[in-house]
């Protein structure tokens, strides 16, 4: 009886979070190298997207850059970067999609960079800023981005476009901001 319950729980989790479908996506063909355009450098955040667990490494690699912008550039510079990363990320994803035939290639991590910038952009409004807040923001964003609870999973499934690639991370960022507000 225990095996049946465990099996049904795995089935429910797979249906809810699309675990099997995302595992299959991990076997995508690699991007060409040298890259045919600058869009590939943007989409992979300078090549970080080629590492195993690309989304996690992309988010980690974005933190020093976002931290410098936030600390020395201020909120306005970070806001401009957030908008810029969304627009250029969307355009870069379009180029990668045209070249690879996949709307969300596993090496694309600019969406994580944009999402993390969006979370950090909310720090002053939430009264956050210590290393604990940064760590919590990173962990919450990765959890929401990997598990994709509804409606994030709906966007991931239904918006099979480069805009959907960016938009599901925007939702993960909003979920992270809400969780940070509730926690702190």
Greater pLDDT, 154 or 23: 154
Of the given ranges (18-22, 115-119, 165-169), which has the lowest mean pLDDT?
18-22
Report pLDDT for 101.
87
Tokens 């702190």 sit at which residue? 184
Could you give the number of structural domains in the chain?
Answer: 1
Residue 121: inside a domain: yes
pLDDT in tens, 130-168: 999 999 999 999 999 999 999 999 999 999 999 999 999
Alpha-carbon span 40 to 73, nearest angstrom? 26
Nearest to 178 by CA among 141, 135, 150, 151: 141
> CA–CA distance from 93 to each of 64, 123, 126, 176, 182 (Å)?
23, 28, 31, 23, 33
pLDDT in tens, 41-82: 999 999 999 999 999 999 999 999 999 999 999 999 999 999
Q: Is the pLDDT of residue 14 over 70?
A: no
Alpha-carbon span 152 to 165, nearest angstrom? 11
Alpha-carbon span 96 to 18, nearest angstrom? 23
Residue 144: inside a domain: yes
Report pLDDT for 164.
95
Please compute the mean of the pLDDT values over residues 90-115 and round it to a whole number: 94
Q: Name the residue range of residue 102's domain.
A: 39-183
Pull the structure tokens for residue 169. 């991370």
Report pLDDT for 18.
57
Mean pLDDT of all residues belonging to the chain: 89
Residue 7: inside a domain: no
Residue 107: inside a domain: yes
Residue 34: inside a domain: no
Residue 158: inside a domain: yes
Pull the structure tokens for residue 81. 């970067």
Residue 92 pLDDT grade (very low, low, confident, very high; cuts 50, 70, 90): very high
User: For a pLDDT cut of 90, what percent of the chain falls above it?
Assistant: 75
Alpha-carbon span 43 to 105, nearest angstrom? 9
Tokens 């995508």 sit at which residue? 28
Residue 145: inside a domain: yes
For the stretch 88-92, contacts whose Cβ atoms lie closer than 8 Å and that sit 24 or more positions apart, written own/partner, are: 88/42, 89/42, 89/43, 89/113, 89/114, 89/165, 89/166, 90/162, 90/163, 90/165, 90/166, 91/39, 91/162, 92/39, 92/40, 92/42, 92/43
Residue 6: inside a domain: no
């Amino acid at each position: 009886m225990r095996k049946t319950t465990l099996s049904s729980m795995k089935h429910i989790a797979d249906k809810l979070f699309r675990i099997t479908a995302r595992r299959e996506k991990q076997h995508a063909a690699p991007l060409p190298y040298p890259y045919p355009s600058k869009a590939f450098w943007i989409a992979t955040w300078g090549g970080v997207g080629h590492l195993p667990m690309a989304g996690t490494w992309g988010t980690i690699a974005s933190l020093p850059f976002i931290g410098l912008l936030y600390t020395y550039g201020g909120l306005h510079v970070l806001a401009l970067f957030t908008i810029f990363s969304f627009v250029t990320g969307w355009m870069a994803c379009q180029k990668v999609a045209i070249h690879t035939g996949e709307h969300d290639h596993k090496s694309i991590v600019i969406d994580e960079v944009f999402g993390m910038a969006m979370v950090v952009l909310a720090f002053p409004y939430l009264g956050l800023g210590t290393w604990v807040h940064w760590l919590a923001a990173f962990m919450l964003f990765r959890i929401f981005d990997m598990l994709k609870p509804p409606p994030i999973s709906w966007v991931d499934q239904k918006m099979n476009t480069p805009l959907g690639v960016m938009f599901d991370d925007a939702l993960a960022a909003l979920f992270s901001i809400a969780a940070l507000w509730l926690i702190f």
